[in-house]
Amino acid sequence: MAASSGRARSTPPGWLIWAALLVVYIVWGSTYLAIALVVDSMPPLLAAG
């Protein structure tokens, strides 16, 4: 095996991890919200495509 380069791998700051989780939460949540709105307001065949 090759020797390590000597650089320690640093972890990202805590706020960056929380920001990434917030982005995932918003993106996935908006998808479910859009589906709920379409189901309530559009006929099935029109919503399909």
Domain residue extents for the chain: 14-40
Cα 20–Cα 34–Cα 27 angle in degrees, nearest 5: 5
pTM for this structure? 0.54
- The torsion of the CA quartet 17, 20, 22, 23, rounded to 10 degrees, works out to 180
pLDDT for 21 equals 96
pLDDT for 6 equals 66
pLDDT for 48 equals 87
Share of the chain above pLDDT 70, in %: 88
Query: For 21-40, how does the pLDDT look when each residue is reduced to its tens digit (9 = 90+)?
Result: 999 999 999 999 999 999 99
- Residue 11, pLDDT > 70, answer yes
